[in-house]
Amino acid sequence: MSTVTASRGTTVKHAPSRLTRTLPRATASAGVLAAAATTAGAAVLRAAGVPLAVHGNIPLAAFAQLTFIAAVSGGVLLAVLIRRSRAPRQRFVRITAGLTVLSCAAPLAFADTTASKAALVVLHLVAAAIIVPVLARHADRPTPDRYDQEQLRCRNT
């Protein structure tokens, strides 16, 4: 536990944040679930004869790895926004919507066939549909920092 002096005569004690326990767990859970979903989807699409290729076949393991990395990146982004932003959920959703559009642009530009383009875009959207809502739910939870700032504002007025 640490002590921070906010102003003359006002001391605020910070307890360990719930964020340090729940956001990493939610990030890992969403990442594993999204990785499993995209990998399973890729396996089904490949079995159905859809070539998932961008200048050569994409290994199934790559779907799981890159989806999990995207989830961890989203968790890090949300942690920063929770600490630095007054509206972390709104900013997180806006930023991730833009990043999802950008991630869909890559297969549209570089996939070998039209079927590959459509399939890869759908898999990107599936991953985003799993990861973003799970992480966005954690943006509304008050952290001790935000709670303490509100308390200080109330006391000083």
Question: For 124-136, what is the mean pLDDT?
Answer: 96
Residue 157 inside a domain? The answer is: no
For 97, the domain range is 18-51+60-149
* pTM given for the model: 0.76
Is position 79 within any domain?
yes
What is the structure's pLDDT at 16? 47
Residue 6: inside a domain: no
| Helix ranges restricted to H, the chain | 19-47, 60-84, 88-110, 114-136, 144-156
Domain count along the chain: 1
List of residues 6+ apart from 2 with CB closer than 8 A? 13, 14
- Answer yes or no: is 92 within a domain: yes
> What's the whole-number mean pLDDT along residues 22-32?
94
pLDDT at position 25, please? 93
5 inside domain: no
Domain-located, residue 36: yes
Q: Which of 12, 50, 51 has the alpha carbon at shortest distance from 149? A: 12
Asked whether residue 87 is assigned to any structural domain, the reply reads yes
Report if residue 34 sits inside a domain: yes
